[in-house]
Amino acid sequence: MNDTEYNGWTNRETWIVNLWHSETFRDWVEQWREHMDIDEQEATPVYEVGDMLKENFLDLFGDASPEYGVMADLLSGSIARINWTETAELCLDGV
């Protein structure tokens, strides 16, 4: 295990967001699946599903985030470290 892994995840930020929101992410993927046929789902790269999860997450918390200052910088740095592709893979696998 390298020093950036955390509890089996890419890093602590990815672990935290999945700890608190994995059910929400699965719900979002299910809603996405309802609007796509099987061929479209299979043709969609996992990173695009990860991008969708990130956008929904930021929409959910965007108004609660500070706009500037040290807290804004720390928060944006943490969000940037989240491995959204890893999160999407977990949701797509139905785990």
pLDDT tens digits for range 33-91: 999 998 998 899 999 999 999 999 999 877 777 788 998 899 889 999 999 999 999 99
In this prediction, residue 1 carries a pLDDT of 46
Domain ranges in the chain are 12-92
The b/e string for 62-94 (b: 16+ C-beta within 10 A; e otherwise) is eeeeeeeeeeeeeeeeebeebbbbbbbebbbee
